[in-house]
Amino acid sequence: MYKLGIDVGGTNTDAVLIDEKLNVVASIKQHTSENIYDGIINAVRTVLEQSGIDRAEIVQAMLGTTQCTNAIVERKNLAPIGIMRIGAPASRGIPLMVDWAEDLKKIAVKTAIVGGGFEYDGKELAPFDTEAATKFFQELKEQGVKSVAISCVFSTVRNDHELEAAKLCKEVMGEDVHVSISSEIGSMGLIERENATILNAALYKVAQSFTEGFAQSLADQGVTNAQVYLSQNDGTLMTMDYARRYPILTIACGPTNSIRGASYLSQQKNAIVIDVGGTTTDLGVIQNGFPRESGVAVTIGGVRTNFRMPDVVSIGLGGGSIVRQQEDGTVTVGPDSVGYKITEKALCFGGDVCTATDIAVRLGMTDLGDKSLVMGLDEEFAKKGMAAIRALCEDSIDAMKVSSDDVDVILVGGGSIVLPENLAGAKSVTKHEHGGVANAIGSAISKVSGTYEQLIDYNEIPREKALEQARAEAIELAVSAGAIRETVEIIDAEDVPLQYYPGNTARVKIKAAGDLA
């Protein structure tokens, strides 16, 4: 029994094969091809050949991909959609897509704000205006629209109106219409949640193409016995069917997978993960085995959203970062880099640019390329360069910490050879031989999760009881997403008191995750 994990990034396509004890059996890293499926087919073929296993023994295949991000950023293959917000008389003061870029606004064929929605306490704000909704869906149908986004005021508290609207939409427009509802996509904050829902609706064709493409690539390689999953940005998995409905949730799964893979390789559940590439270094935090989520609004292709994203800081430091002596004698590293051309441009490979990698080779930290080509570098200069690398890295570690206590640090990525192994602020620094394909490993070992979010007045339900109920709800949600009940754990819990608010109301958010059945 094996798991196959694949990560398709902008630069590299990685694949790993993992056995039932979660040992890495085979792995490959190669450039992402023009047609991503050729790359996937190649990668799968390579790991199958390396391992020599029977392909019928692969029971799960997981894909992490940046296809959705690229589609939004490049405005490619986005579908024409209809957008309906339920919330009048509230919320009308903010039109749909009010601060979107003009070129992206064009995806909306027709928009409407209809009556309905809820108050913070679940009381109905206004009855759902089924008449207006029906008329809107009929008009969309006449215009040949195939995908609809639906949002609703306080649908995170109660999603009745969204569900009713989704049902009505299918009745009017036909079963095959693609419906995205906001309560299944984002959290509190109508505009950000609605924006994510709109993007989701526009991505349905992209999702269709990459889910089918992935299934086809696997079939092509004779992997026909496997359950197929897609990675989400929170480090958990979704089924192909779910991914077709909620493709937006695949956004930013790359850094998430890399953080989770690093955590798995080092067997550490709480640490800072530093992923050093050729040009940039991403720092993330692993908390209880899952990436820490960003607390601020996340912008994708200029659109502000609020759904689950890992808290990642990127700095301009990588294996190919260019090292220079300044006029005042100081030595700087990056942010510019020779990138993937490192094997022709770096000194140790016979090039003429001094890179961070050359500094590491000169100081004997790693054995790469031809060492004699860098021995001409002044040792003092090299030491100053390494001090600059150290400072960049240590400052960022510090910025990611939540307290002044030292933390465990895990180094992954091809460029991690340029980092020193003793870093200020780090209790320990770990590297692993498979660190280069940490993201594909992260994809392969993902779990399934459920999240419960609600505003609760602790004067009505005591806090302890309210949290207990919320935990039970989250566990049920994880189980219904496909987790084995016995393995489900609460992985994140927060209750935040509301500001400027009398009484004792808090926003409660609980997330549970477990192993795949």
- As a whole number of angstroms, the distance between CA 439 and CA 180 comes to 28
The single residue among 2, 128, 154, 264 that binds another protein, judged by CB under 8 A, is 154
Q: Per CB under 8 A, does 401 bind another protein? A: yes
**For another protein, the closer CB: 304 or 383:** 304
Work out whether 123 is an interface residue with another protein (CB under 8 A). Answer: yes
Residue whose CB is less far from another protein, 400 or 475? 400
Between residue 11 and residue 50, which ones bind another protein under the rule CB under 8 A?
none
Least distance (Å) from another protein to the CB of residue 187?
Answer: 11
One of 19, 57, 119, 406 touching another protein (CB under 8 A):
119
424 binds another protein (CB under 8 A): no
Q: Residue 269 interacts with another protein (CB under 8 A)?
A: no
User: Is 494 a residue that touches another protein (CB under 8 A)?
Assistant: no
Sequence-ordered strand ranges (E) for 55-139: 58-65, 81-88, 108-115
Whether the bond between 310 and the residue before it is cis, its omega within 30 degrees of 0, is no
List strands edge to edge, sheet with 24-31.
24-31, 12-19, 2-8, 58-65, 227-231, 237-239
Rounded distance, CA 400 to CA 212, Å?
38
Q: Strand, coil or helix: what is 238?
A: strand
Could you say whether residue 399 binds another protein (CB under 8 A)?
Answer: yes
- Tell me if 501 contacts another protein by CB under 8 A: yes
The nearer residue to another protein, 190 or 218, going by C-beta atoms, is 190
Q: Rounded to the nearest whole angstrom, what is the least distance from the CB of residue 156 to another protein in the complex?
A: 8
Tell me, what amino acid is at 121? D
Residue 402 contacts another protein per CB under 8 A: yes
Residue 502 in contact with another protein, rule: CB under 8 A? yes
Distance of closest approach, residue 38 Cβ to another protein, in angstroms? 41
- Per CB under 8 A, 153 contacts another protein: yes
Q: Rounded distance, CA 124 to CA 154, Å?
A: 10
Residues 293-332 that bind another protein (CB under 8 A): 295-297, 304
3-state secondary structure (DSSP) of residue 35: coil
Q: Which amino acid is at 497?
A: P
Instruction: Give the nearest distance from C-beta 266 to another protein in angstroms.
Output: 22
Size of the site for another protein (CB under 8 A): 42
* Residue closer to another protein, measured from CB, 162 or 358: 162
Q: What are phi and psi of 275, to 5 degrees?
A: -105, 105
CB contact at 8 A, 277 and 418: no
Structure tokens at 363: 């100081």
Q: Which residue in the set 38, 398, 421, 468 belongs to the binding site for another protein (CB under 8 A)? A: 398
* Closest approach of another protein to the CB of residue 325, in Å: 23
- The answer to whether 414 and 276 have CB atoms below 8 angstroms apart is yes
The beta-carbon contacts of 370-375 under 8 Å, at least 24 apart in sequence, are: 373/347, 373/348, 373/349, 374/347, 374/348
Residue 88 interacting with another protein (CB under 8 A): yes
Q: Does 412 bind another protein (CB under 8 A)?
A: no
d(CA 147, CA 290): 33
Query: In terms of Cα–Cα distance, which of 340, 341, 338, 333 is closest to 359?
Result: 333
Restricted to residues 47-76, the positions that interact with another protein (CB under 8 A) are none
Q: Does 497 bind another protein (CB under 8 A)?
A: yes
Measured from the CB atom, the residue of 174 and 497 that comes closer to another protein is: 497
Which residues pair with residue 151 across a beta bridge? 85
Q: Tell me which residue of 495, 476, 505 sits closest to 122, measured CA to CA.
A: 505
H-state helical runs in 13-143:
36-51, 67-73, 102-105, 130-142
**From candidates 120, 213, 287, 476, binder to another protein by CB under 8 A:** 120
Stretch that binds another protein, among 62-70, 183-191, 408-416, 435-443 (CB under 8 A): 183-191
List of residues contacting another protein (CB under 8 A): 87-95, 98-99, 117, 119-120, 123, 125-126, 153-154, 188-191, 295-297, 304, 398-404, 497-503, 507
